[in-house]
Amino acid sequence: EITSLRLLTEKETGRSRGMAFISFSTKSGLEAALKFNGDDYGGRTLTVAIASGQDRAAGGGGGKKGGSKGGRVTRGGGKVNGGKGGKKGKGPKIRPDGCTSVVLKGVSYEATEEDLQSLFQGCGQGPCSVRILTDRETGQPRGTVFLDFDPEDVEGMDAAVTKDGAELRGRWFRADYAQPRAV
């Protein structure tokens, strides 16, 4: 039985960020939920793990001391448990020197340049250009997008990166600073 559920949402839109903290009344309930780890749900991989004490301090997890009955569920394979796991969800992002672009990964294949311009128009001056990467052979989108900003629009890049976990056309995406190419 679930005793509490906290769904994380975007402050501006109120839409789900694809993460939830769920507390269970019994250890068997938690163990049953943990079995969903790695399952496909709507084209996204679920990550289900016991929340760390850090997550409970932020208002999630719940359960008894030590986290034995609290769990965190994320869509898209984000990191959980205080940084254990894959490369995604590294925490605070640091803009590399010379960076003028933001990279989006996991973007819906239906997203258009207009959708992206509209979503990021309030980020500083907005992106100067939007590059949707496509497969060389099929021409189909790969789910990766580069947003190029004016080099002086540091606030715009910073604002764009805060949209990490936002949803566009039914799919959550990751946003990070793009590493500048070596000259």
pLDDT at 70 over 60: no
Answer for the pair 48, 54: CB distance below 8 angstroms, yes or no: no
Instruction: Tell me the pLDDT of the chain averaged across its residues.
Output: 78
**Cα–Cα distance measured from residue 20 to residue 85, given in angstroms and rounded to the nearest whole number:** 17
**Cα–Cα distance measured from residue 55 to residue 36, given in angstroms and rounded to the nearest whole number:** 20
Query: pTM, whole model, 2 decimals?
Result: 0.53
- CA 104 to chain CA centroid, nearest Å: 10
Q: Please tell me the predicted confidence (pLDDT) of residue 52.
A: 61
Relative to beta strand 70-75, strand 2-9 is: unpaired
pLDDT band at 36 (very low <50, low <70, confident <90, very high): confident
Helix (H/G/I), strand (E/B), else coil: 137 = coil
State the Cα angle at 19 between 29 and 49, rounded to 5°.
45
Q: Of 3-12, 83-92, 111-120, give the lowest mean pLDDT range.
A: 83-92
pLDDT (tens digit per residue) in 133-178:
999 999 999 999 999 999 999 999 999 999 998 999 989 999 999 9
Q: Of 26-40, 50-64, 115-129, 145-159, give the lowest mean pLDDT range.
A: 50-64
